[in-house]
Every structure is written in structure tokens, then in C-alpha cells.
Chains A and B, each alone.
Chain A
């Protein structure tokens, strides 16, 4: 074996050494570092300040009264732009982001042709005559408010199974539903001479390509992105952000993943979709909105429910072995509370769970212990076995299920296997309050399930706004049940552009939405309000209280249904009282 002589080595590697040396010098002289060190909340320059400027025009050209003119002027100087509202800490030299809110305070009165029905989430109507402000923000013209409806891909096998189970809709039903809702918002909401126009996706994302001749609704056909493929989701957002013409807003709905929302927000595009937690939506303000309740608020309701009704009191609604587990078997022990929560990647649950614990502890609930688990299907069964045993060994009488149903199924079986049947207090998130899905639980355990529920699944379709709106469009058939997931994004968009006034900007939209009073609150329509400090962008603000009846039939004909107390009355923060209703006098007979 010959050993290379140094000169040979030098000859071989000298180009590399020289290149490395040059690179080192360049790094020192002209480093390749980012120019902007700013986050979303303090982006200078190009944000809403620019668009806020046209609020002046809106105020000037509309006939909405004096308040429009003043604030519109402030918007007019907003070329520096302080960017994005509550998250912003930047130093733009322009006017307020809410400069364009001038039009938001138009006259309220009777609106012939508009708003004929007391739909739950319709803001007070406004009259308007004259010209609007024209192109006050990207995607808005004098006549149009362009938007993108994102439609994901459901794998064929899953779609077929969903269809069998009545959990799906056909493409035609979807098309007709979205067309109807667009029509209804244009017909009933005050859009100041504009109307909503859906945009078709570019190239292979064209939704029109998928329609049949009987229904043509343009939408963005999403890619078949895996839920963990953040790159794929961000790339789709990039495509939407670069569309020409640009959309004023994007409806991601319940189908998109967090990176999609994040990327659109970073590109200063309004997006309506499930942000899940205020900790996500708030730093991206005011670009990510949703109608659903934030994870933080879910836990907050849970804490209030515990503090009012359960904490510090003897256990009452559990199995007999739990009721007699105290040091004196004849007296039920004081509740010992466990919160079971999943830890997704990234973790959006733990902070809220900790807050729940501290709140309940603060109201006399004693020590509340947490039982976190990984949202990992392959280890879930084993972890749940350990949690169930730990709950029994620890003598926990009451379990707060701040989790979704996939984990609750094995947990219910494992608790039953341990012959430990504690009070199962649901949080209401993760579809755990859905009748059909709760029927999958071990009924020996689930018979002790009760607590806050966010929505109501069991009503007849005719009672819901999504049904009424569909009919209002002139449709003669009924909408698919799952169109109830689509309608909220349409009323949300309608509210945004009505309350923003004739010169909508991202700032005026925010101001307009924040100025809205609490809406809804009826059994079939949860209360919604935006602008709540710290949780301004996720709407739902109330719960109902339910108890599980394992023997009564649900609308799907199977035994097991959630029964609401007080005729499904909904409760907001501060309204939850100390009374426990219905049970054990007979929830099933109620």
C-alpha cells in the first residue's frame, strides 16, 4: 500500500482548500444573513397600513355618516403600516390599522331585501347607497370580493367508507351547497355593492375541472398532502398567495393543517380555518380566524364547570366502587380530580391543561393531577392501560377528558377492566360529544359521562341555519348534513365584509368584527363573539351541559345519546351555576 505523499494530497485538495478560504473571507465580509429580523406581528411596510389608506376613500365616497370620514383620514396615511394589530410591536409610521373602519358604523335600520330572517350570526343590517371604495385591499374590487374555497382530497377508500356511514357528501352536493351559500351571502348581507366571487385554483388545482355540467363552482383543489407533510401544506398556501387575481380571503375550513394557515398568515392573507388554539391565532393576528372555540376556552369552561359544580364536593355520579372508596366506605369521598390530555406534536394542549389545574385548585378543588399521553396510535393502548391503573391506584374519582375520542375508547375499556368507574367529565372538544362516536365507548364507563358540550348534533336539520340558508338560495332539495361544517365560514365572511364597511381592509375587518356584539346562544346555534382579549379570533363562547344516556336511542337508531339539560340551554362564562340538573333523577327519562 502506498501512502500518498503530501504534495499529492495538496494537489488533490488544494481547490477545496482555496474554495473554503474564499468562502470564509466572504462570510466575514458579506455574511448571508436575513435582512428582516422581524416576526409576523411587527412586519414593517407592506401590510394593512397600505390598504388602511383607502379607508379615507371609503369614508369620503360612501354615505355612511361622519364617523367614516375621520378615521378614514387616519388610514390614509398608513403607508408605513403598523401591520397586524394586536400582535404588532413594530414601528410603522402610518396610521392606525383600523383606519379603514370608517364604513363600519353605517346606519342601522330596516333593510328591504336584506336579512329577512333572524339568522343567528347576522349582524345588524346597514343601509348603503352610493359608491364603495373600490379596491381597498387585495382581492377586493368595486364589484367583487374574491375568495378561495380550499377543498382537500379524501382518499377514495375513506370516502367510500364515510359514504356508507352517512358521513360524507357527493361532489354534486358539495358544489350545490357552496354555490347556494355564496348566493345567500351575496343576497342577504350588506356587501356595499360588491359580491362574493369564488376563484378557481390555477392549473392542476382547478376545482372547475372536477365539476359536472349540472353544477359549476370554482374552488381550489388541494393536493393529497399527508397531515405531517408541512412542506406540502405550505406549498399550497404559496400557490394561493401567488394567485392572480388575488383572493381577499381563503377558506381553509376544517380540512387544512396548521402550516397552511401559518404560511398564509405570514403572507398577509386572511384565512378562515381551524386555528385550534388562541396561542396560534393570536400571534398571527389578524389573519387567522375561525368560528370554533379555542382550546384555551374549552379548558376555561371546564375549569368553571368544575369550580361551580364539582370541585371540593363529594363524588356523586360514579360507580359504586368509587362512591365507597373513601376511608369511610359509607360516605362518598371528596372528589379527587384527574385531567387526561393528549400532547400532540407540536404541543398545543399542555398549557391549557395546566391552567385548568391551577384554576380548579384555586377554587378549592384540591390537587388536580395531569395524565398526559402521546397522540400516537401505536402506543396509545399500552399508555391508556397504565393511565387507567394509575387512576384507580390514585383513587381519582373524577376524570376530566381534555382529549379526543380516539384515546377515550381504549381508556373506557381499561377503566372497566380495572373495575373503576369514575365520573367522566367531557370537555366537549375532539368530537367526544358526538352521539355516533360516543356509542363506540365502553358503556359500563360511559354511563357516567357528562359535562360541557360545544355543539349539538342531534337536532333535526330544519332547525339549523345551514339548512335555512340552503333553502333560502332557492334550492328544492335538502343539504347534506356535513354542509353544516361549511356554512359557518360563509356567515363569518359575510360578517367580516359587512362590518368592515364599504372600504374593507384587514384593519377594518378586525375592527368591525371586534365591534360585533355576542351573537347566537340558542340551543342549535352556539354564542359567538370576537375580540375577547387574549382570544379574539376564535368565535364560540358558550357550552351546553349534557349527560350520556346509554339506553335511549340516538337519531342514528342506535342506543346511546347525549341528553342536554334544561332543554339544551347554553351557558356562557359567568352563567354556569352550582346546580346539578337532571341526573340522577333520570337522564334517560328526561
Chain B
């Protein structure tokens, strides 16, 4: 009885909130039904996200694109070859299953043991590859395309299906029979999936491996094979959604899931606690109804995206306890990010090592100080931008690398700083340092507000909230429509200051050094944090939340502290960016930049500050280094995919392996036995002897775990 009362109370609260948001202007029933149909596509996206998340513990950002190609194939079979509907539908499903399996087998399997963040970033590259195939394959197979480019054009009208002729109206909004097909197939898919995972052996095995892959493996379950099945199902769901949607609305110029649509899918998945398919279905419909109703009533295209921030916060708060349990269920030995081994204490004081570090520091310092003087003014300007990005990367190391929280909206926090810079710098002409300080504090405050509910839970929940926040910052906070009184004038000018009334910062080089000095402060602050008890507590909470709690560490407070510090530096970077540009360009604060920044910091090495700097340098050199387009593509998702396939640890992996080689040489020269440097070689040697083949640790099925010589973070925290 209490159960149903709570449900009824929750439903009533939702309806009241809905009514309040819409100011009592409920859209007509037809629009609500249409919104629900739209919501089905979010639901299918959410179910795909949940499937892969539960199986592989990663957010698959290529979920939509996996199905787009097969769906286009099916649609063109209908429109060009005029095959029967069932044949086209079957071909779509088969092609999607094949593609999903192929993607898992050829690409994602290589990331099976890689840190989860690395695997997630790899899916970004994957989505770009699949997006390109959407353009290239149809003209090749059919001699036509849906885009008007690359072959004879096929018009965009919906294909004729056996259900096209059937129509019905709900409060004058017209629906075709294909809508019914979409609804029925989606419902059947959800029911079948639910039954599959509850009743079938394979389904239960997938659930088991999702909860604890290592334990499932020990029980003889082939986790890899199951993973392939999951990816096949996810691709089929995506393809079905697009194929059935196309039968209703016709084709679009390719399928693109940008940040806004991704938020909607994530929101539905979060409502489902990343585990329940029926709830994902309800969540998707709810998101569809909410967003389209808001759009209908307010006639503002940006409000639906912006309203996702408070919606997600409310959802997170409302199901806080359950989400925590859902997350705790997954105790597999997946790592979010790879830790690089610290300098062994045995070698730290050796002369070669001491001098090696000094020389490396001097070379690095000389490079960042002197190299820009050799660049043209454009590159000097871009070098300053890269330094600004590097500051955001520092903030991501604190938040994602050390605290284990995924932020897909860190550039949104930079947008808060930009807003303050536009207001204080562009309007009030305030002192540079005052502006930076206020910007940092504003960023910290914003982090606190969005972090409080979300930080209580690990994983994708914060990712969704931060992404939604980044969207809101660009379209609301930085929009002259809403905050024009605080933003710079029509020229968007924010003049650079004269430092202490004496030194002009107008030139690109002088402001580069201001950015560099700020980066130095950010690095010093982060390094200092890492060395304090607070820093050790952050790492401890990341690695073993329950263990940390048992030692009296407040998990929520620790995470929020990391988020607030991280938000402070991200906002300072945003303010600096505005000064550097001399303008506040609303378009610069596109949410996709947040994903780009997370990408480069993962490429560099998200747990180490030097790694993050390497990531920023990677971006800067390849994107702004004046190389040809071929090399520049390495800085994009496609290049990232290739890079991560070759070196799953990113740029830092190479950097640290070179360092370790040198350290081994030094250790051998001094006759010092350093287990932390030689253990992995020894293990590899044993494996080789056992298997009789070339084999490395990363390829092994052994679950990664702490080595004997490693100091446990909790021990370190208490040291």
C-alpha cells in the first residue's frame, strides 16, 4: 500500500510540476501524443546506452550512428529497389546486427581492458567513421544518395509502406499507420529485451557479466562473446528507431546526435537508473513530452534543452538512494582511467634522476616560454588558446582523473567565467585580477549547484547533468536575449587591460604569458592539492568509496570539493579566453568543445598533470600547428580512434614508457632492484613461457589489480 501511495504521490508531484512549468497551458492531446512518439526515439537511444553501459561500463557516444547506416540501407531498398517492406525491415535488422558485431569485434574489443574513459572517447571516433560511411556507402551501393551529394538524389519524402495508407487523427493531429508500427515495435522490443535478460541463459549471462565481469569469467562465461551480442542488440535498436522514424517523417541529411539529443537520451537513461528498460521507455516518452510541450507553449527553441538541467537535478535527487545501489551493483575491476606509476622512491634521489628531472623541467619551461616567440602572431594567439584549454585540462584532471567524475560540460563552466569576464571586463571595465577571481568564484558556485545532487552518484549521471549545463550556458547565459544587459555591446568587445597600469597586454605574445602564468598557478594549485590529505582523500574515494567511508571520509564532501576546485579553474580559463579573444563569441562556447576537451585530456593521460599537458599539446600541435588537413584529422575523432587503437593509454603511455625505459637503465647501472619497474616484464615473460607465444599483460584476461609494491591509496591517505 505504501508502495502505491508513494508512486501516486510521485506521479501527482510530476503532474503538478509539469503544469507549473507550462503555466497551466497544456498542449492539445494530439501534440502530447506526437511528443510521446518523438520520445520513443529517445527511449530507444536510452536503451542502447543502458545496454552497452551495463555490459561494458561505458557511455557509447556512437549509439545513434551505429544504426543510421543500416537504416538508410533499408530505406533506399524501399525507395530505389522497391523491395517489400518486410524484406527491407529484415535487411535493416540483419545489417545492423552485423555492423554492431563487427564494431565490437574489430574495434571495441581492443578496448576491453582499457580504462573506461578511453573506451568512451574511442566511441566518439567511431561515430565519425560511421557518419562518414552514411555518406559514402549509399551512392556506391545504390548509385543514389539521400543528401543530394554524391550521386543521384532521392527525394526526402517517407518511403511507401503497407501502413502508409492508414491514417487517424487525435485532436486534429494526423498520424499514419507507421506511427502505430513504431509504437508496437518499440513496445515489443522493450518487452522482448526485458524477457530476454530475465529469462534466457544468454540474457542472464549478460547481466552477470555486466555486474561483475571477472566473476562471470571465472564461472566460465565468455564475456567477450556476450559483449558482441550486446553491441549487436544495441545497433539493431538504433537502426529500428531510425528506420521506423524515417517511414513517418522522411529522411534527413544524415543522422547526427549532437549534444542536445544526447542529453535527452541520457536523461531517459538516468530516469531508468541505467538499468531498467521499461523505465527507459517511460523516461524517453517523458522527455519527449516535456521538451516538446515546453517548446509548444513557450515558442523558444532553446528552453527544452535548458530545462534539462533542473529536470535532471530533480530526477537525481528524487531517486538518490536507488541510484547509489544501482551503481554499487557493478563491482567489476574496470578502471575509469589509467594511473601511471610514480617515480620509484628507490631512484628518486639518484643524481641521474634528479638531473634528468631538472633538465626535463627546464626544457619544458624553455619550450613553452621561448617557442611562441618563433611563431607568427596567429599561432601566438592560438598558443594562448591552447594554454587556456590546458587550464581546463587541469580542472579535468582534478575532477575526472583524480575524483573519477565524468564531466561532459567543463567548457560550460568556462562559459560562466566568460560571462563574468564579459560583464566585469566588457561592461564594468574592472581590474583583470578582480575579474578572474570573481569568475573563478562564480564557476565554483555553479559547480556546487549542479554538483550537489549529481556528485552523490558515480558514472554517467554527472556527465548528463554537466552536458545539459553546458548547453544551457551557451544558449541562455551567453545569449543577449536573456542577459544582454550584462554582456558586451554589439561589437562584443572586451578590451585587454594594461597590466598594473604599465604594461600593455595588447600583443598576442604578452597575453600568452599571462595565460601561461595562470596555467602555472593552476598546476601549482593542483599539485599542491594532490599532495595534501584532501588530495589523497579524493583519490581514495575514487578507488574505493566504501573503504574511504569506513575511514571517516565524507564521500559527498570530498567529491564536491574536487568539483568546486575544478569549476574554479575552468571558469578562470573561460574568463581568460574572453580577454585573449578580445570578444565574447557566443558560438565559441559550443557544448561540443567540452567533449573535445575531455577527449584530449584522456588522450594525454587523465590522471596525471603532465599527461593532461601532453593532451593539450597534442591538440595544439595537430589542430593549430599549420599542418596539412591529413595531419589535422588526427586531432579529430577519427584520428583519436586510430591513435587509441595503437596506444590505448594515449600520448602519456608513450611518454611514460620512455621514462620507464630510462629508469630501468639507471636502475641497472646502479644495480638497484626496482620491483615496480620490472614486475610487468617478469609477468609478461612468465606468460610467454606459459603460452608459448608473444603476449603482453594488456592482452591477458587477468583482471588488473593493485600490485604488491603499490601503496594503497587509503594507506596513503592516512599517511
Contacts and interface: CB of A to CB of B under 8 A. Distances in A.
Given A241-B377, A382-B38, A420-B174, 7 more contacts: A33-B501, A228-B588, A377-B258, A382-B292, A389-B173, A436-B148, A439-B155
A385 B249 contact: yes
A345 B260 CA distance: 14
Interface string A536-577: 000000000000000000000010000000000000000000
Contacts of A236: 378
Contact of A266 (B158, B300, B582): B582
User: Which bracket fits the contact residues of A?
Assistant: 35 or more
B155 A440 contact: yes
A418 interface: yes
Interface string A349-392: 01000000000000000000011111011111111111001101
A95 to B, nearest CB: 25
A378 B257 contact: yes
B698 to A, nearest CB: 33
Interface stretch (A116-124, A143-151, A406-414, A482-490): A406-414
Contacts of A393: 28, 30-31, 171-173
18 contacts: A1-B552, A31-B500, A32-B433, A33-B501, A34-B429, A35-B504, A39-B491, A39-B493, A165-B150, A345-B590, A372-B301, A374-B260, A378-B258, A410-B252, A412-B250, A413-B250, A420-B174, A439-B148
B597 interface: no
B249 A30 contact: no
Interface stretch (B81-89, B105-113, B474-482, B538-546): B474-482
B660 interface: no
Nearest to A31: B431
Given A386-B31, A417-B174, A231 B381 contact: yes
A232 interface: yes
Interface centre among A162, A242, A378 (most CB of B within 10 A): A378
A162 B149 contact: yes
A530 B693 CA distance: 77
Contacts of A420: 174
A45 interface: no
Contacts of B632: 224
A21 interface: no
Contacts of B593: 228
A376 B296 contact: no
Interface stretch (A69-77, A152-160, A517-525): A152-160
A235 interface: yes
The majority secondary structure among interface residues of chain A is helix
B537 to A, nearest CB: 11
Interface residues of B, number: 108
Given A27-B431, A33-B432, A373 B301 contact: yes
B670 interface: no
Contacts of B136: 157
B258 A27 contact: no
A443 interface: yes
Given A31-B431, A409-B252, A417-B248, A558 B157 contact: no
A234 B624 CA distance: 12
B610 interface: no
B585 A378 contact: no
Contacts of B582: 234, 263, 266
Interface in B52-90: none
Interface string B148-175: 1111110111100000000100011110
Contacts of A165: 148-151
Given A157-B132, A234-B581, A223 B624 contact: yes
B173 A443 contact: no
Contact of B500 (A30, A371, A412, A417): A30
B30 A389 contact: yes
A145 B416 CA distance: 45
Interface string A220-233: 00011001111110
A382 B294 CA distance: 13
A532 interface: no
B300 A372 contact: yes
Contact of A418 (B148, B173, B261, B434): B173
Contacts of B518: none
A443 B588 contact: no
Interface in B35-50: 35, 38, 41
Contacts of A475: none
B299 interface: yes
A266 B431 contact: no
Nearest to A19: B521
A161 B381 contact: no
A262 B492 contact: yes
A234 B581 CA distance: 8
B385 interface: yes
Given A242-B377, A390-B31, A412-B156, A371 B496 contact: no
Nearest to A23: B433
A228 B31 contact: no
B668 to A, nearest CB: 39
A385 B34 contact: yes
A-B pairs, 6 with minimum CB distance: A413-B250, A204-B626, A239-B378, A34-B495, A378-B258, A374-B301
Nearest to B379: A235
Nearest to A26: B500
A441 B148 CA distance: 11
B554 to A, nearest CB: 13
B685 interface: no
A266 B493 contact: yes
Interface string A147-185: 000000101110001101101000000000000000000
A232 B624 contact: yes
Interface string A222-261: 0110011111101110110110000000000000001100
B489 interface: yes
B583 A259 contact: yes
A235 B431 contact: no
A378 B479 contact: no
Given A165-B150, A238-B377, A389 B31 contact: yes
B257 A409 contact: no
Contacts of A419: 167, 174
Contacts of B449: none
A403 B68 CA distance: 26
B265 to A, nearest CB: 10
A437 interface: yes
B276 interface: no
A14 B200 CA distance: 65
Interface string B374-389: 0011110110010000
A204 B205 CA distance: 56
A293 B196 CA distance: 60
B249 A410 contact: yes
Contact of B156 (A33, A164, A231, A413): A413
